[in-house]
């Protein structure tokens, strides 16, 4: 069998090189688009789970669990595993109010394809979030993502949101009491700023499992 001549070998290498430079950018683009689609699906999943959490607790968690850990309240699981960035495998940036019962939240990430229309739809063309370092974000219905501009105006003076007093049904009897941490007491329902607990304590199913997180007056 006749082997390749030097000229033929050079031609083959040139063709393979041309194919590489033609195909590689297309493959990279498709991988970027696939990862960005995954990020948007993750955000939609996290947002739905947080709203279900809010329906039970009347507030959002102060922080999200670590990657692949469950989002839970008491014995109820709202999301089996918190998704993480498909490329860096790091957690998405979640910002609550800092209290154990957050009245709102924002969630940020960076899409790889800067021409993705979702960036403009989110209002993040010039950056969003802390330090304007993100280009995509979502927020709870009572909040908006922090958007940046080429010449941002001075930020208005923030009005602090008071931390709500948390009430829950104490275990063993029909009593609505204040709790510092109702979650360690496995309280199925939490009632911010409502010392009546909406008269739900008559039902034993609404009562906390223990009094570990109950407020102790100073």
Q: Looking at residue 162, what is its pLDDT?
A: 67
Q: Which domains does the chain have, with CATH numbers?
A: 6-139 (3.30.700), 166-206 (no CATH)
Nearest to 215 by CA among 187, 181, 190: 181
Q: What are the pLDDT digits (tens) for 148-195? A: 987 545 555 655 656 678 888 998 878 899 988 877 888 888 888 889
**Do residues 93 and 108 touch, judged by C-beta distance below 8 A?**
yes
Query: From residue 113, how far is each of 16, 33, 85 by CA, in Å?
Result: 28, 7, 14
32-60: b or e for each residue (b if 16 or more CB lie within 10 Å)? beebbeebeebbeebbebbeebbeebbbb
Helix/strand/coil percentages in the chain, nearest 5: 30, 15, 50
Place of tokens 């219905």: 141
Tokens of 12: 């083959």
Q: Looking at residue 2, what is its pLDDT?
A: 53
Q: Looking at residue 106, what is its pLDDT?
A: 95
Q: What are the pLDDT digits (tens) for 107-140? A: 999 999 999 999 998 999 999 999 999 999 999 9
Q: Looking at residue 3, what is its pLDDT?
A: 57
Q: What are the pLDDT digits (tens) for 68-107? A: 999 999 899 999 999 999 999 999 999 988 777 899 999 9
- Distance CA(165)–CA(100), nearest Å, equals 11
- Distance CA(66)–CA(90), nearest Å, equals 9
pLDDT at 19 over 80: no
pTM of the model: 0.61
CB atoms within 10 A of CB 184: 16
Query: From residue 142, how far is each of 56, 103, 129, 139 by CA, in Å?
Result: 17, 8, 16, 8
pLDDT at 46 over 90: yes
């Amino acid at each position: 069998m006749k082997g390749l001549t030097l000229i033929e070998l050079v031609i083959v290498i040139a063709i393979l090189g041309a194919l590489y430079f033609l195909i590689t950018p297309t493959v990279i683009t498709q991988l970027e688009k696939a990862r960005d689609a995954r990020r948007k699906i993750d955000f939609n999943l996290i947002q739905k789970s947080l709203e279900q959490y809010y329906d039970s607790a009347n507030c959002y968690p102060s922080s999200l669990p670590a990657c692949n850990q469950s989002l839970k309240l008491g014995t109820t699981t709202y999301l089996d595993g918190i998704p993480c960035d498909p490329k860096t495998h790091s957690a998405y940036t979640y910002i609550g109010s800092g209290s154990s019962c957050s009245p709102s939240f924002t969630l940020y990430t960076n899409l790889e394809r800067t021409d993705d229309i979702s960036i403009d739809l989110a209002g993040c063309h010039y950056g969003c979030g802390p330090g304007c370092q993100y280009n995509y974000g979502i927020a709870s219905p009572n909040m908006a993502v922090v958007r940046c501009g080429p010449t941002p105006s001075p930020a208005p003076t923030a009005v602090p949101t008071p931390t709500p007093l948390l009430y829950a049904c104490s275990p063993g009897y029909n009593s609505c009491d204040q709790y510092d941490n109702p979650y360690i007491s496995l309280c199925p329902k939490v009632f911010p700023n409502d010392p009546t607990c909406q008269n739900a304590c008559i039902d034993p199913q609404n009562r906390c499992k223990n009094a570990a997180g109950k407020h102790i007056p100073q």
